[in-house]
């Protein structure tokens, strides 16, 4: 393979809209810039879609739906399998592309490409396992046939923090189920999705099944499609605030929705926990993706007996993390996505310290270009600090102390969110009690990472609707049809 260069991987990606199997410019010819968050340098310009372009993309998806729904499940499966193999074969260039536009270190970017590929492998296997049912009516006079069919054209919206994995998590089950789609990647990180569209085309995906619109005006482009009436489903990953607006728009046509929204994950450490494992899990849960993850540990509640030692060990680990551009060898802490993200983290830390929190390490921005913030540990964080109720989305670990189990569970559940919670304890009975009491869709029990394509991902309360991944992930893209048969 030729030596990878930054300009080479950027130049290799299509910069236009991908509609009906073709690369086309915006109807106005306008473009918008994609920047490297580590340097502020413009990487390239991509097509800036208009509402008319969105309509053209939906037209293409609608036109392709009937034929795609009739495609044999095995054929859909093989397309996904080939895409899985292509992603793994090109992990190096795809990871570099992702690091350039999003900032995460190369090692993490490679991990994300592999993670995205796993969704294609998982749903390639699920495509041929869509089942139904045959049942004798209770009165014996007839039969019930139950079948599952693709829901129809889908609208998919993905976030900037996992630009390829979140695409794979939505595109995989849609293809497996027989749905066509229009996908809008985040304007900060469109290149990974454009590269993924090219790979799926190479894998044999027919024209019109996947359409990609990049735009600097997501609301203006997506709302007309949502209210068009021909799309039958919306799948969104992003903030709760935007999710609420999209739900209102979907109500107009009663669009089926699945949403993975914000998180405010508590990380509970009990006195009987294995502290080595708890600190390692804390590093994973907090620093994966530079803390820019909805599953990131946002609130650390540590029982008083081990609080000082946990804080000491976590501070030691966090203070040793190399910070820099994600392309540099050994870097663990890359830049945040943009200046707004840095400002948000800065405000949250300032608020906590003004209320009595102490900075054990970090707590400041970094001089020079790029959107960098130091890996930070805070202790004595009061429950009324803003970061107790707002997502930090950055490399900051705030620690609070608790005395008993009931207090810990109450503090953990004191949030409108309910995506994931983490629990560290060696007491089996406590582990089960606490896991069942926590108001979250996922629990990390003595482990700091819960995401897995083979498991159902999703939250409760204002963290979302529906599940992605696992055996239930494909159901979000299927309708159940019942046929009553008279004998």
Q: At what angle do helices 304-319 and 275-287 cross, to 10 degrees?
A: 50
Separation CA 379–CA 141 (nearest Å): 69
b (16+ CB within 10 A) / e for 263-288: bbbbbbbbeebebeebbebbbbbbbb
Respond yes or no: is residue 125 known to be catalytic: no
- Residue 371: name the closest of 420, 338, 416, 323 by CA: 338
- Residue 293: name the closest of 165, 383, 462, 169 by CA: 165
Instruction: Please say whether the beta carbons of 476 and 434 come within 8 A.
Output: no
Query: How many residues make up the chain in this entry?
Result: 487
Instruction: Please say whether the beta carbons of 310 and 424 come within 8 A.
Output: no
Q: Taking the CA atoms of the chain, what radius of gyration do you get in angstroms? A: 23
Q: In this structure, what DSSP letter does residue 206 have?
A: P
- Residue 69: name the closest of 211, 206, 259 by CA: 206
Separation CA 297–CA 281 (nearest Å): 10
If you search the block for the tokens 């482009």, which residue do you land on? 221
In a 3-state reduction of DSSP, which class is residue 77? Answer: helix
Phi, psi of 433 (to 5 degrees): -60, -50
- Residue 23: name the closest of 41, 46, 52 by CA: 46
Q: In this structure, what DSSP letter does residue 153 have?
A: S
Separation CA 168–CA 113 (nearest Å): 9
Instruction: Please say whether the beta carbons of 149 and 62 come within 8 A.
Output: no
Sheet holding 233-237, edge to edge: 22-24, 17-19, 210-212, 181-184, 154-157, 233-237, 256-260, 464-465
Provide CB contacts within 8 A for 89, sequence distance 6+.
none
- Of the listed 108, 118, 126, 260, which one is catalytic? 260
Tell me the two tokens of residue 213: 């619109």
Phi-psi region of 356 (alpha: psi -120 to 50; beta: other; left: phi over 0): left
Instruction: Please say whether the beta carbons of 321 and 364 come within 8 A.
Output: no
First to last CA, the chain: 65
Q: Which residues are catalytic?
A: 260
């Amino acid at each position: 393979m030729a030596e990878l260069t930054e300009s080479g991987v950027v130049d290799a990606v299509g910069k236009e809209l991908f509609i009906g199997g073709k690369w086309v410019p915006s109807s106005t010819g306008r473009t918008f810039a994609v920047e490297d968050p580590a340097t502020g340098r413009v990487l390239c310009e991509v097509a800036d879609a208009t509402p008319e372009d969105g309509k053209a993309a939906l037209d293409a998806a609608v036109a392709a739906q009937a034929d795609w729904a009739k495609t044999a499940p095995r054929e859909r499966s093989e397309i996904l399998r080939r895409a899985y193999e292509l992603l793994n074969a090109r992990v190096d260039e795809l990871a570099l592309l992702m690091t350039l536009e999003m900032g995460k270190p190369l090692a993490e970017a490679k991990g994300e490409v592999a993670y995205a590929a796993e969704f294609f492998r998982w749903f390639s296997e699920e495509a041929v396992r869509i089942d139904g049912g045959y049942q004798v009516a209770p009165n014996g006079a007839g039969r019930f046939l139950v079948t599952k069919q693709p829901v129809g054209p889908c609208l998919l919206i993905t976030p900037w923090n996992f630009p390829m994995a979140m695409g794979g998590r939505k595109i995989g089950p849609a293809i497996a189920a027989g749905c066509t789609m229009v996908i809008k990647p985040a304007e900060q990180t469109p290149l990974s999705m454009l590269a993924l569209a090219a790979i799926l085309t190479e894998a044999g995906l027919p024209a019109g099944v996947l359409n990609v619109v990049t735009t600097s005006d997501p609301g203006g482009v997506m709302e007309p499609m949502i209210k068009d009436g021909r799309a039958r489903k919306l799948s969104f990953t992003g903030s709760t605030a935007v999710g609420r607006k999209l739900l209102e728009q979907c109500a107009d046509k009663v669009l089926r929705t699945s949403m993975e929204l914000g998180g405010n994950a508590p990380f509970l450490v009990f006195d009987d926990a294995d502290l080595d494992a708890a600190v390692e899990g804390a590093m994973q849960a907090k620093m994966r993706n530079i803390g820019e993850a909805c599953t990131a540990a946002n609130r650390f509640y540590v029982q008083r007996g081990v609080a000082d030692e946990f804080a000491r060990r976590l501070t030691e680990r966090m203070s040793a993390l190399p910070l820099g551009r994600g392309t540099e060898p050994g870097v663990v802490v890359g830049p945040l996505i943009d200046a707004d993200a840095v400002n948000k983290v800065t405000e949250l830390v300032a608020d906590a310290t003004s209320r009595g929190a102490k900075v054990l390490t970090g707590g400041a921005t970094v001089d020079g270009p790029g959107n960098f913030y130091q890996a930070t540990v805070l202790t004595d964080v009061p429950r009324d600090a803003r970061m107790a109720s707002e997502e930090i989305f950055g490399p900051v670990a705030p620690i609070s102390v608790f005395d008993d189990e009931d207090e810990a569970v109450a503090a953990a559940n004191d949030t409108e969110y309910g995506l994931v919670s983490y629990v560290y304890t060696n007491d089996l009975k406590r582990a089960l009690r606490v896991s069942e009491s926590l108001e979250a869709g996922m629990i990390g029990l003595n482990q700091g990472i819960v995401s897995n394509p083979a498991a159902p991902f999703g939250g409760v309360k204002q963290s979302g609707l529906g599940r992605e991944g696992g055996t239930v992930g494909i159901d979000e893209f299927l309708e159940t049809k019942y046929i009553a048969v008279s004998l």
